């Protein structure tokens, strides 16, 4: 039988991961999987880490690792590698204070997430979800000249708030559909990255030109409910909202009210505050195109995210700098 690698480390997985990722973790470490795949609370994760003598924890976007959970993690745990680019579920200050290394998985999910943003943009503009539900309900009576008329996206202005990797990937896709790109970002991009997009230093000032508004900035205490009723009122009438970032950056009550009144024509949403218990007001809105946080959900991307998380764990275990260290 193959001998385990010398100095095998214990790697705790908080959820089931794709087969190829678990196979690599089991090959290189003593992997502790979460066989029942139940979402664990932060304190349960800490307790499991203590029980199993974990050296590393590979966690996911849904796991809430707040200050209490981080404090409860045994000292032996040196790295918390999250299977996500977002880190809003982790109290980074608590991790920093405890000397816990936190890593994430940037780059590998950029294209998959930008693809979902375009799916939502086109689906919301062309009323795809309404049409699909009409067919499934047996309510389609045949083609008609005025049925489910949507909005042409070509020639419309797409405003991107947060022009990082994913924002730029959304811009390049939307350009192919003939959209004019506007963006707001802390820093203006270099011309070769900007590719003719119009820069707005102040996102507030950009809102009146956003026929479609797509959000691509992280969830923090400062960005909570950034898109509120006042900002919605600055958008052109019947604008479309796309959110593939985090649910907490929009004020659900304000978005639902605007969708109900037609102030917003439609919304395409992949993320929600308090997932999976999304605001019930969304469910009955015909003009809300809703997906269950699928941004990175392709086999290729999820494998790549898992390998990246393991690359980071391997580096820390070997005393090398973690390539995607956040804290």
Instruction: Classify residue 141 as exposed, middle or buried by CB count within 10 Å of its CB (0-12, 13-18, 19+).
Output: exposed
Q: What is the dihedral of CA 48, 53, 58, 60, to 10 degrees?
A: 10
Cβ proximity to ligand DGY: between 121 and 209 the closer is 121
Number of residues that bind ligand DGY (CB under 6 A): 7
Binding mask 49-68 for ligand DGY (x = CB under 6 A): ------------x-------
| Catalytic residue flag (residue 225) | no
- Whether residue 246 lies in the annotated active site: yes
Q: Is 249 in the site for ligand DGY (CB under 6 A)?
A: no
Considering only 110, 168, 243, 296, the residue that binds ligand DGY (CB under 6 A) is 296
Structure tokens at 189: 């991009």
Contact, 48 vs 40, CB < 8 A? yes
Q: Is residue 254 a contact residue for ligand DGY (CB under 6 A)?
A: no
Of the candidates 22, 194, 273, 275, the residue annotated as catalytic is: 275
- Cβ contacts of 15 within 8 Å, gap of 6 or more: 34, 37, 39, 60, 62, 63, 83
The structure tokens listed for 230 are 């006042």
**Residue found under tokens 């959000």:** 215
Q: Which is nearer to ligand DGY, 295 or 306 (CB)?
A: 295
> Quick one: which of 295, 293, 301 has its CA closest to 21?
301
In angstroms, the CA 91 to CA 42 distance is: 11
Choice between 157 and 216, CB closer to ligand DGY: 216
Q: Clarify whether 216 is annotated catalytic.
A: no
CA distance 45 to 51: 10
Joined together, the tokens standing for residue 196 give 């003719």
| Three-class SS state of 26 | helix
Q: Which one is catalytic: 29, 89, 127, 293?
A: 293
**Pairwise CA distance, residues 100 & 224, whole Å:** 26
- Residue from 86, 123, 159, 247 touching ligand DGY (CB under 6 A): that is 86
Helix (H) or strand (E) holding 121: helix 110-125
Shortest reach from residue 17's CB to ligand DGY, in Å:
12
Which one from 24, 29, 182, 246 is the annotated catalytic residue?
246
Q: Give me the helix-helix angle, 110-125 and 299-317, nearest 10°.
A: 150
Residue 269 interacting with ligand DGY (CB under 6 A): no
By CB under 6 A, tell whether 247 contacts ligand DGY. Answer: no
**Least distance from ligand DGY to the Cβ atom of residue 125, Å:** 23
Give whichever of 126 and 248 is closer to ligand DGY, judged by the CB atom: 248
Question: What mask of x and - would describe binding to ligand DGY in positions 180 to 219, judged by CB under 6 A?
Answer: ----------------------------------------
Closest approach of Cβ 112 to ligand DGY, in Å?
Answer: 9
Residue list 115-144, contact with ligand DGY (CB under 6 A): none
Q: Which is nearer to ligand DGY, 39 or 47 (CB)?
A: 39
Count CB neighbours of 169 within 10 A.
Answer: 19
Beta bridge partners of 202: none
Q: Is 81 in the site for ligand DGY (CB under 6 A)?
A: no
Does 85 help bind ligand DGY (rule: CB under 6 A)? yes
Catalytically active residues are 246, 275, 293
Q: Which residues bind ligand DGY (CB under 6 A)?
A: 61, 84-86, 109, 295-296
């Amino acid at each position: 039988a193959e001998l385990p690698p010398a100095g095998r480390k214990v790697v705790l997985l908080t959820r089931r991961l794709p087969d190829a990722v678990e196979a690599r973790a089991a090959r290189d470490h003593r992997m502790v999987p979460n066989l029942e795949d139940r979402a664990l609370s932060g304190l349960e994760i800490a307790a499991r880490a203590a029980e199993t003598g974990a050296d590393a924890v590979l966690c996911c976007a849904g796991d809430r690792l707040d200050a209490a959970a981080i404090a409860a993690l045994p000292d032996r745990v040196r790295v918390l590698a999250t299977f996500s680019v977002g880190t809003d579920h982790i109290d980074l200050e608590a991790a920093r204070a405890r000397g816990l290394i936190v890593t994430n998985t940037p780059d590998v999910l950029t294209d998959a997430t930008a693809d979902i943003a375009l799916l939502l943009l086109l689906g919301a503009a062309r009323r795809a979800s309404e049409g699909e539900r009409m067919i499934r309900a047996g309510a389609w009576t045949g083609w008609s000249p005025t049925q489910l008329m949507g909005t042409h996206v070509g020639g419309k202005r797409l405003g991107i708030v947060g022009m990082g990797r994913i924002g730029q990937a959304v811009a390049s896709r939307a350009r192919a559909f003939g959209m004019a790109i506007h963006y707001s970002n802390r820093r203006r991009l270099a011309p070769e990255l900007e590719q003719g997009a119009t820069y707005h230093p102040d996102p507030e000032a950009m809102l009146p030109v956003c026929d479609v508004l797509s959000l691509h900035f992280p969830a923090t205490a400062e960005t909570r409910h950034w898109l509120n009723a006042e900002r919605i009122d600055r958008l052109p009438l019947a604008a479309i909202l796309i959110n593939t970032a985090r649910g907490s950056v929009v004020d659900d009550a304000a978005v639902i009210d605007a969708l109900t009144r037609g102030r917003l024509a439609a919304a395409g949403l992949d993320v929600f505050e308090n997932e999976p218990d999304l605001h019930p007001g969304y469910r009955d809105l015909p003009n809300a195109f809703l997906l269950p946080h699928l941004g990175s959900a392709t086999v290729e991307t999820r494998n790549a995210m898992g390998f990246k998380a393991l690359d980071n764990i391997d580096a820390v275990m070997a005393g090398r700098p973690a390539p995607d260290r956040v804290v």
